[in-house]
Chain A
Amino acid sequence: MSHGQSRDASRISDRTPAGQAGLSDPATTIAFSEAQLGEVRRLQSLYPDARGALLPVLHMAQETFGYISLEAEEYVASLFELSPAHVHEVVTFYTLYFRERPGRHVVAVCHNLSCHLAGAPGIIAHMKRKLGIDPGETTEDGRVTFLTVECLCACEAAPMAQVDDRYELNLTPEKIDRLLEGLR
């Protein structure tokens, strides 16, 4: 299949996973608490130009609301006196911001050079079989979002993946199975 048209899992759209059927979004008010707003102001004061706090505040928004919706982008834009278009630029540029709600767990398998040499393609194929989804997608029960990503700089322990906040090293199919089992 021609690359340009394929559902290229290594693309930036990693973080807008498909397969969201059944995942309804509980109504969340997009607003920070007073304490959080205080934190926003504190972060803004750390930088010579308050805009420097945009990436940290977007991380805050993702942690608070689960992902960064368009509404969240407009909300954050209002905290910075930035046009929403410029916040949207930032959110779509970086790979760690989810623009749709991800699964409860995110498993990002590295497919760069050293991991490739250590067998990443096999790990990825195994994950596809085990989860029944392609990279870039989320399981129907909302448990796992599966991604392939670029070098996570743990090449000495290849093949490896980032699972939520931690690195899982020296992966084998068995380790993957145990790992996935532990993800509720």
Chain B
Amino acid sequence: MAEIVLMRNFANADSHTLGAYRGGGGYAAWDKARQMEPAAITEEVKKANLRGLGGAGFPTGAKWSFIPKTHTGPVYLVVNADEGEPGTFKDRYLLERDPHALIEGMLIAARAIRCTKGFVYIRGEYVQPWRRFSAAVQEAYDAGLLGQGFDVVVHRGAGAYICGEETGLLSSLEGKKGWPKIKPPFPAIKGAFGQPTIVNNVETLCCVPPIIARGAEWFAGLGTKTQGGTRMYSVSGRVKKPAVYEAPVSVTLRQLIEMAGGVSGTGRLKAVVPGGGSAAILTAHEIDVTMDVDGLKAAGTMIGSAGVIVMDESVSIPEALMVLARFYAHESCGQCTPCRESTGWIYKMVHRIVERRGHKDDLDTILDVAKRGAGTTICAFYDGAVGPYVSYIEKFRSEFEALIPHA
């Protein structure tokens, strides 16, 4: 049975309290980290092969080391708790069930990057998680864990998926619309309020205390050659037991679906979204892939936020694409032209197709427009939209064509 690391405390009903967290060994990693040099902490995280678990899969230790060594002003740690990727719900569990794990991870990360202030940006809809986490922060202050060289500001969002994009989040934190920033400069050089900033996902930071407590080699050994550890896979859609499942990152998609009780509905698998709504879809014949960053990249898709959405034979792929196209049109921030204009247009076309009012050129137009826009935008939101636009049509074209008169 694979080791449970991130969800180790969930079974305890009081897991969110300081007492229960400490009782389970919590904050021992922080005690250890306080004796370590900041650079040594970063080295440990690098050796552990921890990759970002919010979507981009960037090596976390490498990101931390981008903070300029010569910078004398403030450095900020910003936690991305703006979970919004369709099919993903792991951070919600961590915020509600193990908020102190995040606080401990923040303390250690802050020491590594020499930062005295951290902001936790929680999506506005997450009211219960916000209350739980804020209570845990208060406990930590009362216990003298926070406020002794590191402060935490909890900040609620106000409803915009784009605020889950690293620099969109920073703009929102600064009190503006969630418009992503043009890069360069990158956040590690010039981020929140113009200062060097590290933005990390909730789950990523929750991995840090175990890494420090039990060692980088142990963490690295749990996973693949290029990505260490376990992660929490959110499994939903047409499975018998939709839930969050922790597994080593070397787990295959087939294994995950089995963990979730297998396919429901007709019981026959048709397709799977492997990494949140923005990931290219995989067919039923493509599920023997390892669910790590490089494994899914090699398969032409991405692990992203590890939101697994299972579709059985009765699912209409054109309808599924319409739902996602509607989502992208609604969430496009509107800042740059290719995304702003084409997300709305592509939704209109897919909607028409689903309503059997498609034109025979529509599919090729959608593919061509999506491909022309890929890589041209300020942020990766549009590339996330392109994933479904292209893969759903290319892999299930006949299903779309069946809806188009005279296709």
Residues in A lying within 8 Å of B, measured CB to CB: 2-4, 10-12, 46-49, 51-56, 58-59, 80, 86, 89-90, 93-97, 111-114, 116-118, 149-158, 162, 165-167
Interchain CA distance A116-B92 in the complex, whole Å: 20
Chain B residues, Cβ within 8 Å of A114: 86-87, 236-237, 242, 309
Chain A residues, Cβ within 8 Å of B213: none
Interchain CA distance A69-B86 in the complex, whole Å: 31
Chain A residues, Cβ within 8 Å of B124: 59, 94, 96
Chain A residues, Cβ within 8 Å of B160: 93-95
Interchain CA distance A96-B327 in the complex, whole Å: 16
Q: Which residue of B lies closest to A86 (CB)?
A: B176
Of B40-48, B151-159, B363-371, the one with at least 4 CB within 8 A of chain A: B151-159
Interchain CA distance A31-B153 in the complex, whole Å: 25
Chain A residues, Cβ within 8 Å of B123: 153
Chain A residues, Cβ within 8 Å of B172: 55
Determine whether the beta carbon of A155 is less than 8 Å from that of B155: no
Which of B74, B153, B161, B235 sits near A156, CB closer than 8 Å?
Answer: B235
Determine whether the beta carbon of B86 is less than 8 Å from that of A3: no
B243–chain A nearest beta-carbon distance, Å: 5
Asked if B128 CB lies within 8 Å of chain A CBs, one says yes
Determine whether the beta carbon of B156 is less than 8 Å from that of A10: no
Residues of B299-339 contacting chain A, CB below 8 A: 307, 309, 311, 315, 319-320, 323-324, 326-327, 330-331, 333
Chain B residues, Cβ within 8 Å of A89: 176-177
Asked if B342 CB lies within 8 Å of chain A CBs, one says no
Chain A residues, Cβ within 8 Å of B237: 113-114, 117-118, 155
Chain A residues, Cβ within 8 Å of B126: 153
Q: Given known contacts A3-B347, A113-B323, A156-B89, is B309 in contact with A47 (CB within 8 Å)?
A: no
Interchain CA distance A89-B243 in the complex, whole Å: 38
B55–chain A nearest beta-carbon distance, Å: 13
Residues of B121-177 contacting chain A, CB below 8 A: 123-128, 153, 155-161, 172-177
Chain B residues, Cβ within 8 Å of A80: 175
Q: Which residue of A lies closest to B158 (CB)?
A: A94
B122–chain A nearest beta-carbon distance, Å: 11
Determine whether the beta carbon of A3 is less than 8 Å from that of B319: no
Chain A residues, Cβ within 8 Å of B234: 155-156
Q: Given known contacts A117-B238, A150-B331, A156-B242, is B174 in contact with A51 (CB within 8 Å)?
A: yes
Interchain CA distance A154-B155 in the complex, whole Å: 21
Interchain CA distance A56-B320 in the complex, whole Å: 35
Which of B125, B159, B348 sits near A3, CB closer than 8 Å?
Answer: B348
Q: Given known contacts A96-B125, A150-B161, A153-B92, is B156 in contact with A56 (CB within 8 Å)?
A: yes
Determine whether the beta carbon of B158 is less than 8 Å from that of A97: yes
Interchain CA distance A112-B388 in the complex, whole Å: 14
Chain A residues, Cβ within 8 Å of B86: 112-114, 150-151, 155
Asked if B273 CB lies within 8 Å of chain A CBs, one says yes
Which of A55, A166, A167 sits near B156, CB closer than 8 Å?
Answer: A55
Determine whether the beta carbon of A154 is less than 8 Å from that of B347: no
Interchain CA distance A74-B290 in the complex, whole Å: 53
Asked if B229 CB lies within 8 Å of chain A CBs, one says no
Determine whether the beta carbon of B348 is less than 8 Å from that of A48: no
Determine whether the beta carbon of B193 is less than 8 Å from that of A158: no
Determine whether the beta carbon of B127 is less than 8 Å from that of A93: no
Determine whether the beta carbon of A96 is less than 8 Å from that of B158: yes
Determine whether the beta carbon of B323 is less than 8 Å from that of A167: no
Q: Which residue of A lies closest to B153 (CB)?
A: A46
Residues of B90-122 contacting chain A, CB below 8 A: 91-92
Q: Knowing that A54-B175, A93-B333, A117-B320 are A-B contacts, what are 9 other residue pairs whose CB atoms are under 8 Å apart, sorted by A's residue number?
A: A55-B155, A90-B158, A94-B124, A94-B177, A112-B324, A117-B237, A151-B86, A153-B85, A165-B128
Interchain CA distance A46-B137 in the complex, whole Å: 15
Interchain CA distance A184-B224 in the complex, whole Å: 54
Q: Given known contacts A153-B84, A153-B89, A165-B128, is B330 in contact with A51 (CB within 8 Å)?
A: no
Interchain CA distance A53-B154 in the complex, whole Å: 11
Determine whether the beta carbon of B175 is less than 8 Å from that of A53: yes
Interchain CA distance A96-B123 in the complex, whole Å: 10
Interchain CA distance A61-B157 in the complex, whole Å: 15
Determine whether the beta carbon of A95 is less than 8 Å from that of B175: no
Determine whether the beta carbon of A90 is less than 8 Å from that of B74: no
B76–chain A nearest beta-carbon distance, Å: 8
Q: Which residue of B lies closest to A10 (CB)?
A: B330
Chain A residues, Cβ within 8 Å of B236: 114, 155-156, 158
Chain B residues, Cβ within 8 Å of A154: 89, 92
Determine whether the beta carbon of B330 is less than 8 Å from that of A116: no
A26–chain B nearest beta-carbon distance, Å: 25
Determine whether the beta carbon of B125 is less than 8 Å from that of A162: yes
Asked if B351 CB lies within 8 Å of chain A CBs, one says yes
Interchain CA distance A165-B134 in the complex, whole Å: 15
